[in-house]
Amino acid sequence: MLDRKKITYVGLILIVGGIMLSFDGAGSILAEFNTHGFWSDLERLLRTIGGVLLVLLGIYMYRNAD
């Protein structure tokens, strides 16, 4: 079983990784030279949403590491 300190570290890693993933996806969406098809745009959107969900999961784990 994980103790409180390890769960806190995992939460922080998820927060940082989620922020990085969100910025990567949003940057790919906003870049004007990236003109691909529907599937590439969908992948970028899902990457951004997935990053936000990772941040939320990390915040949940960080706050509830009792």
What's the whole-model pTM score?
Answer: 0.83
Per-residue pLDDT, 66: 67
Residues 6+ apart with CB under 8 A from 44: 25, 28, 29, 34
Q: Could you read off the pLDDT of 18-57 as tens digits, one per residue?
A: 999 999 988 888 887 766 788 888 888 899 999 999 999 9
